Amino acid sequence: MRATGLERFDGLADRFLADIEPLKEAGALVVGIYCTFAPVELVRAAGAVPVGLCGKKQAPIPAAERTLPANLCPLIKSSYGYAVTGTCPNFAASDLLVGETTCDGKKKMYEHLSKVKPLHLMHLPAATGAAQDAYWRDEVRRFQEFLEAATGNTITPEALGAEIRIQNEVRRLLARLLSTSAGTCLPISGLDMMLVSEAKSFCADPYAYAATLRDLLAELDALVAAGQSCVGSKARRILLTGCPVGRGSEKVVELVEQSGGVVVAAENCSGVKNFDLLVDETGDPLTAIAKRYLRIPCSVMTPNAGRFALLDRLTREFRPHGVIDLTWQCCHTYNVEAPLVKAHMLETHGLPTLHIETDYSESDTEQLRTRVEAFLELL
């Protein structure tokens, strides 16, 4: 059984262009974002509209490989392929781009991308601490200055505070939605939770998005109270970790749920990492924003203890039967962490982990199906 409120999210990303049309006519700029490290609060406080541009489909990759090496992760190639083929309407609608120095592949891809559209690059430190906090705050301030110059609008503390509050509310609602799957009755599948979370990157109005989340939450709570689950009682509960997924790159999540499992939580930057941490609403807003975003436990951080702490918390809350660690091919930072994750989950929680390395194509789908089915049977 699927909650009827999910129908409102099915076409939310596709309605983005229609939603921003009156805003663009009024002079608002659209800022294309490629990573969760880019502070959306600043973009909105500048009177601009953020939109997610991270590539999640196979189609534009061949065009990207005319410039980029084939042995690069599909997320990077897909993102660049959309830019050079003109096949992503959200990229076409973007007036400015913001990148971040996470992995080496993305850093170098941004050099090519900056020739297509104006691009601001945020230089991300690879660790957290007092010195890194101060450095990153300067980068956030530099991003603020870029946005003010581009839009002609001053980002006031009042406007920034308002954006912090609504983004925190959205994060709380998404966390509350996910928590409905912590019990034995699961009112939402992993695929649908992915759809709802991904829609955050394609909403022109965060207040309207929050209202839609509240409506869905009320329905999910009612389903749980009535004992109505979207999966059978024998479904194996899976904690997904690793690289981000979305529409077009959801094949592993789809295979899990076609094979009798259910993804109860996704610890990745398209899932929990995207809404787990809140911005402190007291004190200097720029400092609070910088601190929140630098604590995202991405695999580019070293050491990356935050990822293991988050996995521990999700394991305690959602009680998975097993873990699937998804790595896109040639994503070296996540690949290096894979054996560490596997050992940690087994030694700390007694949970087996299936590590899958794949790309966006469908060529290995049946091989993956066999591996996923065998893993679920093992559980």
| Domain boundary assignment for the chain | 12-155
**pLDDT tens by residue, 9-39:** 987 777 899 999 999 999 999 999 999 999 9
pLDDT score of 253: 98
Stretches where the chain sits below pLDDT 70 are none
pLDDT score of 12: 77
0.95 exceeded by pTM? yes
Q: Are the C-beta atoms of residues 267 and 274 closer than 8 Å to each other?
A: no
Written as six digits, the tokens of 114 are 């900056």
pLDDT score of 15: 87
- What element of type H or E holds 77? helix 74-85
* CA gap 136, 139 in Å, rounded: 5
Tell me which fold the domain 12-155 belongs to: Rossmann fold (3.40.50)
Question: Residue 337: phi, psi to the nearest 5?
Answer: -80, -15
pLDDT score of 10: 87
Task: Specify the DSSP class assigned to residue 133.
Answer: H
pLDDT score of 11: 78
pLDDT score of 249: 97
